[in-house]
Amino acid sequence: MPAIQDMQGKTVVITGASAGLGAVSARQLAAQGATVVPIGRSPEKTAAVARELGVEPLVADFAKLDDVRRLADQLLERCERIDVLANNAGGIFPKRVQTVDGHELTFQVNHLAPFLLTALLHERLAATPGARVLMTSSLGNNMGRVKLDDLDSSRGPFLSLRTYGTAKLENILMAREIARRWAGDGIVAAAFHPGNVATEFARDSAISGLIYRVAPLRRLLLISPEEGAAPLVALATQTDTSLIDGVYYDRFKPNGRHSKQADDPELARALWERSAALVGVDA
């Protein structure tokens, strides 16, 4: 993805920016002239990144939808424009946990919370020429399966990798539905797999967490946060939006391997409408 646009005067909002590829992306886009708003769950880590950028941090826990609503209000107050909304926060969890909002934690953190945030920022995005929404998905979407009548994975045994893969599949469906639903607003959207990045996101997972915790496996199987951030930065700065709108990238490869469900526009529409009902927004 060549053709990098000038980021001077652009505002970039990045969730999951307290560490890993989110923090690296924040630094790189700020270095290219963008005003970057880093958002994270950890006050200390997010503040440290914000100090580097010379901005004020915003803190939100996506396991609490009221935090997301408060975050949206703060962003609308602070940002006169939002050129890029990078929905990068996420995680994989070893056990079924119900949030205070009554949803399964993986589903809420990876899909429902970013859906709510994006919906609440819709008007500001629409008012910003060339605005784009980026979804950090995963190759794990191939393991997922969206069941509209069981979005919280409440039936049967809890399989953390399958549940995570489903949420990452929902990220792709969300990007494609934004590309369709908000086309008239001039908003484009894309989803991407950053690669298997050496971050802490899966540290609590019994199986995949081993790769992230054991140093030899990390070096052998994982890429650096700098490498993982490269697709996000490329999508945020690509001048020709026709190349990215509604597209799922496997790092820099468009139309990377993905679940067949990701190509179902009716499923994308239904997931959107179901998600809107769950969080109480008209999107």
Q: Which of 164, 212, 248, 249 is catalytic?
A: 164
Q: Give tens-digit pLDDT for 15-37.
A: 999 999 999 999 999 999 999 99
Q: Give tens-digit pLDDT for 169-212.
A: 999 999 999 999 999 999 999 999 999 876 555 455 455 444 44
Q: What are the backbone dihedrals phi and psi of residue 162, each rounded to the nearest 5 degrees, phi first?
A: -65, -40
Q: Give tens-digit pLDDT for 215-225.
A: 444 445 687 88
Question: Catalytic residue at 164?
Answer: yes
Q: What does the DSSP assignment read for 71-105?
A: HHHHHHHH-S--SEEEE------SS--B-TTSSBH
* Domains parsed from the chain with CATH numbers: 11-275 (3.40.50.720)
| Structure tokens, 216 | 């030899």
Cα-trace Rg, the chain: 17
Q: Could you give the CA distance from residue 34 to residue 138 in angstroms, rounded to a whole number?
A: 26
Supply the pTM of this predicted model: 0.91
Q: Give tens-digit pLDDT for 116-174.
A: 999 999 999 999 999 999 999 999 999 999 999 999 999 989 999 999 999 999 999 99
